[in-house]
């Protein structure tokens, strides 16, 4: 268990006193967990952490499935006695009322657009290849996994290319400042080389990664 130092993203309303104790159920190797820690750090929110080893099946135990998440996955953000799975939903919960969610209606929806893109087009390819190649190891992959390597490589490159083009003439994914869209996409993009993606091919992404890493309150992945 540890807390995170205060960040300096301004909150539009001071709601810290209104929420219960926050506990993140996580595996520190997971970019999805890191999103939530980075959001909390940028907002200066204290977050306790309970760690699980997904490689040892610690999120598939009967206790975890009954009490934390019936989907057997981390991260889960615990707010008092309530449990909130899905990384991007947890980031939304933490950031409501802060400048990490745009005040403009279209921009707010456009931020969610990039967060859904992240979960549909980016994470299943960029994060999955990182997990397979960096943590499981190519010799240990199943035939089923091995058969998907090329398709996931192509789809991951497509997602990175789309991001690079979007960032070519702007600093942030939505509007003029960092939002949850940047945090969601940063998490697995900045470690994409662990999945065999060459980030040198995406110069606008490279500049944006640097921009995110210098936000006040930023914390590294581990």
Q: Which is nearer to its own copies, 120 or 135 (CB)?
A: 120
Report the nearest approach of its own copies to the CB of residue 9 (Å).
18
Site for its own copies in 113-172 (CB under 8 A): 113, 115-117, 119-121, 123-124, 144, 147-148, 151, 162, 165-166
Residues 59-78 binding its own copies (CB under 8 A) are 70-71
Whole-number CA gyration radius for the chain: 17
Stretch binding its own copies (CB under 8 A), from 34-42, 107-115, 130-138, 203-211: 107-115
Q: Give the bridge partners for 50, in sequence order.
A: 25
Cα separation, 79 vs 193, whole angstroms: 34
Measured CA distances, 24 to 28, 60, 137, 167 (Å): 10, 17, 27, 31
Backbone CA torsion sign across 87, 92, 98, 102: positive
**d(C-alpha 166, C-alpha 173), whole Å:** 7
Interface with its own copies includes 93 (CB under 8 A)? yes
Reply yes or no: is the peptide bond before residue 75 cis, omega within 30 of 0. Answer: yes
- For the CA atoms of 57, 59, 62, 66, the dihedral, rounded to the nearest 10 degrees, stands at -170
Taking CB under 8 A as the criterion, the residue among 8, 12, 96, 207 binding its own copies is 96
Residue (113 or 134) nearer to its own copies, CB: 113
The one segment of 22-30, 42-50, 88-96, 194-202 that binds its own copies by CB under 8 A = 88-96
Nearer to its own copies, 5 or 62 (CB): 62
Contacts with its own copies, residue ranges (CB under 8 A): 70-71, 79, 82, 84-90, 92-93, 96, 105-106, 108-110, 112-113, 115-117, 119-121, 123-124, 144, 147-148, 151, 162, 165-166
């Amino acid at each position: 268990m540890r807390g995170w130092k205060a960040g300096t993203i301004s909150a539009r309303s001071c709601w810290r006193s209104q929420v219960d104790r926050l506990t993140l159920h996580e595996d520190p190797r997971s970019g999805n967990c890191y999103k939530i820690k980075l959001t909390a750090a940028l907002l200066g929110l204290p977050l306790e952490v309970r760690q699980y080893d997904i490689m040892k099946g610690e999120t598939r135990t009967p206790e975890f499935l009954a009490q934390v998440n019936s989907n057997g996955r981390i991260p889960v953000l615990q707010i008092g006695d309530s449990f909130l799975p899905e990384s991007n939903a947890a980031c939304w919960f933490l950031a409501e009322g802060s400048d990490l969610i745009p005040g403009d209606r279209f921009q707010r929806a456009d931020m969610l657009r990039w967060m859904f893109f992240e979960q549909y087009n980016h994470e299943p390819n960029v994060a999955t290849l990182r997990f397979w190649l960096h943590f499981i190891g190519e010799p240990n992959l199943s035939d089923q996994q091995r058969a998907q390597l090329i398709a996931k490589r192509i789809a991951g490159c497509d997602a990175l290319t789309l991001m690079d083009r979007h960032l070519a003439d702007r600093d942030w994914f939505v509007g003029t400042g960092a939002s949850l869209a940047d945090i969601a996409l940063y998490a697995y993009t900045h470690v994409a080389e662990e999945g065999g993606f060459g980030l040198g091919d995406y110069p606008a992404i490279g500049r944006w990664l640097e921009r995110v890493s210098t936000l006040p309150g930023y914390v590294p992945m581990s």
